[in-house]
């Protein structure tokens, strides 16, 4: 029933109009002054107000203004017995629906009232529709905004490949879409028993590092176990949790949604603490669930990508280890290569290699490399009994040994111990350290152990091969030298026999004695060479830049070069690979080659020395080339120049190039010569690396 308020200071008019409109089915209320009408308007909403203009206390214009203030669309009809153009204009300007004269025509009034209440009904319906449209529009805007956020999130997540960066991005995007201050991603361990925080927003580092939930424990653990999303509107009153997680959550409302790929749960996405302090809704839960589905796909892709990259990195590391250790026989170089290789896969500041001496029952530091490497006044040794070295509990062994090393090393670091055990006992320990005290992950430990085991295996095998090759080389050389000893010994014995049998008859005693002295000198040289080759330190080798050795040798012959006014040309690359050589032997080789060239060089001629990388099939070498513009070598002599005591020079010993040949062979190298009489000679010597 439509409500009509009649306002007039003449009670008779109020009664007659009330009776008239009451018969038409309207609900009528009356007021005999403006103040009473204003009070009713403040308390009740009316479909139409009929008000006289001239009244005591508050006139009709005041009633009109108050009605329009209470409801901007209120319909007010003003009545007056004193009409004027000014009052009509003022009434319409103030928002009056109609302006009529007294006395009122009954039928006209009835039509006016009906038209007014019909308009009021249409206006109210329109207003309701506009409110509904506005609410619907706002809801659509929110949904479009959420869908756009999900779309942008999908694009962003699909472009992410690094797992840690992706996880942080998921948390940040989810919190931004739903307006949360706190968020976290918890992933299950490989066995699916525990959840740990892998990325977070608004949580302390201590909580991130120490939180470890069993599957089924707390809210996140229950979401992961059930595979169903959880909405908690008020943690204080929720009967499922009853504030059991007070120590972990400082907010009343939170969301926990599993990250699922099919039926497999990868982890949980949690949000808490809305920025507007309101509780999360079912709509928020549905939105986060949709977001979690996208995140789970991206997470699975990133995990697969990371696993593939980790496998490639692991295989690459193993390949590099096998390749780079192929020519090494020193612990320091092995440690350096292992640390450099693993340093590309994880953070490492220091690498220590300890060997175990079961006789002394000590671990001895064999090599140390890395940023924290410091010279030591005395060797670093750690007592380690055989019982400890044979311990079956490897985890306890590593724990005790780690404390010993940390105490002895003298710097605060987190160490990762990688003990290598032989069939019966400890062989050695590789120790990796980083100064930030951040623990190595299980995956980093696993990878480091694989690489270290591979390195140790390749290293020991290579040492055995090199030792065997060295023994074979030394054996061959000793055989050659022993064979060469026979001739001078035979000559000495023959000469002595002649002197003994025909001493008195001989006229050339001095000549025979000189010959015997020369043979004795040859024997002395051979014995010296034999002793050199039998000395195990003679061929200890280290990685060297051959350019440094060439310069060292040339300094020794600066005077000889200047004396002959030789034009020396050098082409020594500084970025050549380092070659495993015996430094003194290579310097002796270069000296012999340079002096040999000087003997055949006329004054003012050119001598050229170059170093360059070369390949023979898959094998790599550094080539040392020495070219001169000397007399050259006759073709018939080329095949004999490396023979012991072969020489075409009057004062030559025939040992220079023979020594060069043996040094090259001892290093596994190759030597080649090209010579043209009258033009010059070129020697090419290749050293493997």
Domain range 542-688, CATH class:
alpha beta
Burial class (CB in 10 A: 0-12, 13-18, 19+), 376: exposed
List, in sequence order, the alpha helices (H) in 179-276: 205-210, 218-226
Query: How confident is the model at residue 651, as a pLDDT?
Result: 42
- Which H or E run includes 323? helix 282-324
How far is it, in rounded angstroms, from Cα 489 to Cα 516?
10
| Cβ-Cβ contacts under 8 Å for 179 (sequence gap 6 or more) | 274, 275, 276
Superfamily of domain 3-127: Response regulator (3.40.50.2300)
- Which H or E run includes 612? strand 606-616
Query: How confident is the model at residue 257, as a pLDDT?
Result: 93
- Supply the pTM of this predicted model: 0.39
Query: How confident is the model at residue 277, as a pLDDT?
Result: 84
Query: How confident is the model at residue 650, as a pLDDT?
Result: 47
311: three-class secondary structure by DSSP: helix
Phi, psi of 351 (to 5 degrees): -130, 130
CATH 3.30.1950.10 for domain 328-440, yes or no, is: no
| Residue 207 contacts residue 197 (beta carbons within 8 Å) | yes
Strand partners, 7: 31, 51
Q: Quote the tokens at residue 256.
A: 């926990």
Going along 91-178, which residue ranges are E strands? 98-101
Query: How confident is the model at residue 5, as a pLDDT?
Result: 94
184: three-class secondary structure by DSSP: strand
**DSSP notation for 411-449:** S--EEEEEEEE-SSSEEEEEEEEETT-PPPPHHHHHHHH
Domain coordinates in residue numbering, the chain: 3-127, 160-309, 328-440, 542-688
160-309 matches 328-440 in fold: yes
CA distances from 41 to 36, 65, 75, 93, 100 (A): 9, 11, 12, 21, 21
CA distances from 667 to 357, 469, 589, 611, 662 (A): 30, 10, 12, 17, 9
Query: How confident is the model at residue 95, as a pLDDT?
Result: 85
- Which H or E run includes 551? helix 546-556
CA distances from 316 to 64, 321, 445, 466 (A): 88, 8, 17, 25
Averages of pLDDT over each 10 residues, the chain, 689 residues: 91 91 91 92 91 88 91 89 75 84 86 90 86 81 65 57 73 85 89 89 87 88 92 80 51 87 88 89 86 78 68 71 62 72 79 84 82 62 82 74 79 79 74 76 77 68 58 59 62 70 68 71 64 55 86 87 90 84 87 87 91 86 93 81 61 60 84 90 92
Query: How confident is the model at residue 65, as a pLDDT?
Result: 92
3.30.450.40, 3.30.70.240, 3.40.1390.30, 3.30.565.10: CATH of 160-309: 3.30.450.40
How far is it, in rounded angstroms, from Cα 251 to Cα 273?
6
CA atoms within 13 A on the CB side of 268: 33
């Amino acid at each position: 029933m439509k409500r009509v308020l009649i306002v007039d200071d003449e009670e008779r008019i109020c009664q007659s109009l009330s009776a008239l409109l009451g018969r038409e089915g309207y609900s009528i209320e009356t007021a005999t002054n403006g103040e009473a009408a204003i009070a009713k308007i403040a308390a009740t909403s009316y479909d139409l107000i009929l008000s006289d203009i001239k009244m005591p206390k508050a006139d009709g214009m005041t009633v009109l203004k108050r009605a329009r203030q209470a409801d901007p669309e209120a319909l007010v009809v003003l009545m007056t017995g004193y009409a004027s153009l000014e009052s009509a204009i003022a009434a319409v300007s103030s928002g009056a629906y109609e302006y009529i004269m007294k006395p009122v025509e009954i039928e006209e009034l009835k039509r006016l009232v009906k038209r007014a209440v019909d308009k009021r009904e249409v206006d109210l319906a329109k207003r309701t529709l506009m409110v509904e449209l506005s609410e619907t529009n706002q809801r659509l805007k929110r949904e479009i905004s959420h869908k756009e956020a999900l779309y942008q999130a999908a694009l962003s997540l699909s472009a992410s490949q690094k797992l840690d960066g992706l996880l942080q991005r998921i948390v940040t995007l989810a919190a931004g879409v739903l307006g949360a201050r706190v968020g976290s991603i918890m992933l299950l361990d490989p066995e699916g028993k525990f959840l740990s925080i892998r990325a977070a927003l608004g949580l302390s580092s201590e909580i991130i590092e120490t939180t470890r939930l069993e599957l089924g424990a707390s809210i996140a653990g229950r979401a992961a176990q059930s595979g169903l999303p959880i909405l908690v509107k008020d943690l204080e009153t929720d009967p499922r949790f009853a504030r059991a997680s007070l120590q972990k959550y400082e907010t009343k409302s939170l969301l926990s949604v599993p990250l699922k790929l099919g039926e497999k749960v990868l982890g949980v996405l949690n949000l808490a603490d809305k920025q507007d302090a309101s509780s999360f809704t079912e709509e928020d839960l549905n939105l986060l669930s949709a977001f979690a589905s996208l995140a789970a796909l991206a997470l699975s892709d990133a995990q697969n990508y990371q696993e593939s990259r980790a496998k490639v990195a692991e295989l690459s590391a193993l390949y590099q280890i096998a390749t780079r250790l192929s020519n090494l026989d020193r612990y320091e170089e092995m440690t350096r290569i292992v640390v450099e290789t693993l340093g590309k896969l994880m953070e490492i500041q220091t690498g220590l290699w300890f060997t175990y001496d079961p006789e002394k029952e000590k671990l001895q530091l064999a090599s140390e490399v890395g940023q924290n490497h410091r010279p030591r006044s005395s060797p670093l040794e750690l007592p380690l009994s055989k019982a400890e070295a044979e311990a079956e509990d490897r985890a306890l062994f590593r724990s005790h040994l780690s404390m010993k090393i940390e105490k002895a090393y003298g710097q605060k670091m987190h160490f990762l111990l990688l003990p290598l055990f032989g069939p019966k006992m400890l062989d050695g320990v590789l120790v990796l350290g980083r100064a930030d005290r951040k623990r190595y992950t299980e995956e980093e430990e696993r990878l480091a152990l694989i690489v270290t085991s591979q390195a140790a295996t390749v290293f020991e095998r290579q040492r055995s091969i090199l030792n065997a090759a060295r023994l074979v080389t030394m054996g061959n050389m000793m055989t050659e030298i022993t064979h060469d000893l026979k001739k001078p010994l035979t000559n000495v014995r023959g000469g002595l026999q002649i002197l003994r049998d025909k001493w008195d008859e001989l006229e050339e005693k001095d000549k025979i004695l000189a010959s015997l002295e020369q043979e004795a000198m040859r024997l002395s040289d051979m014995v010296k060479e034999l002793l050199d080759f039998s000395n195990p330190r003679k061929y200890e080798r280290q990685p060297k830049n051959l350019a440094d050795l060439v310069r060292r040798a040339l300094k020794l012959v600066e005077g000889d070069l200047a004396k002959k006014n030789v034009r020396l040309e050098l082409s020594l690359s500084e970025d050549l690979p380092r070659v495993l050589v015996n430094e003194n032997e290579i310097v002796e080789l270069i000296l012999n080659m340079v002096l040999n060239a000087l003997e055949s060089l006329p004054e003012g001629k050119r001598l050229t020395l170059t170093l360059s990388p070369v390949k023979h099939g898959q094998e790599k070498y550094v080539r040392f080339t020495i070219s001169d513009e000397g007399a050259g070598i006759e073709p018939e002599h080329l095949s004999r120049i490396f023979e012991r005591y072969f020489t075409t020079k009057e004062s030559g010993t025939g040992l220079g190039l023979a020594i060069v040949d043996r040094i090259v062979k001892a290093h596994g190298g190759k030597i080649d010569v090209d010579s043209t009489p009258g033009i010059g000679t070129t020697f090419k010597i290749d050293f493997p690396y």
